[in-house]
Structure 1
């Protein structure tokens, strides 16, 4: 399913890196994005996760060593203990997550005791 116009993205499908609610990149990739941005070499895109995917895919084609690692703590369907990302949280749940993190120094969901 195409979520943008052909003018915005002419390829058959997005690069495989898109993960919407959260992703983590290494220092070398963050630095490469920063450098390319400062050099005016990055095509901007309206969705930042898709933009990051496009940029990483281009850097990979240029020879940057890029590896995709599935991180099970990036849970895209709510909250899971030990999370890196807790997606689809209400403002009240976000406040609860933050309070639990501050009090316990652990990533715990709010429906847990």
Structure 2
């Protein structure tokens, strides 16, 4: 009897661990990867914006407009990965990025 209980517990634990690993592979890792890339792109856009304002270089602002599309692709992918209720918060972030990137 005790062996059967242990076998059931081991089976449930393995099933749970498999689900956790699957969640990490399908959601956590891609989400963190996309978020990290977007953070780099936003940081670079911020730096270019500051330089463009300081030296009056319109071309740097044009580069930011190109980077904007890459950022939005990342946000769209995050929205696809996130559960619906969490994905809604990206809309507010979307508006903030538009103000920041497009001058």
Higher relative contact order (CA 8 A, sep 6+): 2
Name whichever structure is richer in helix by fraction: 2
* TM superposition score normalised by structure 2: 0.24
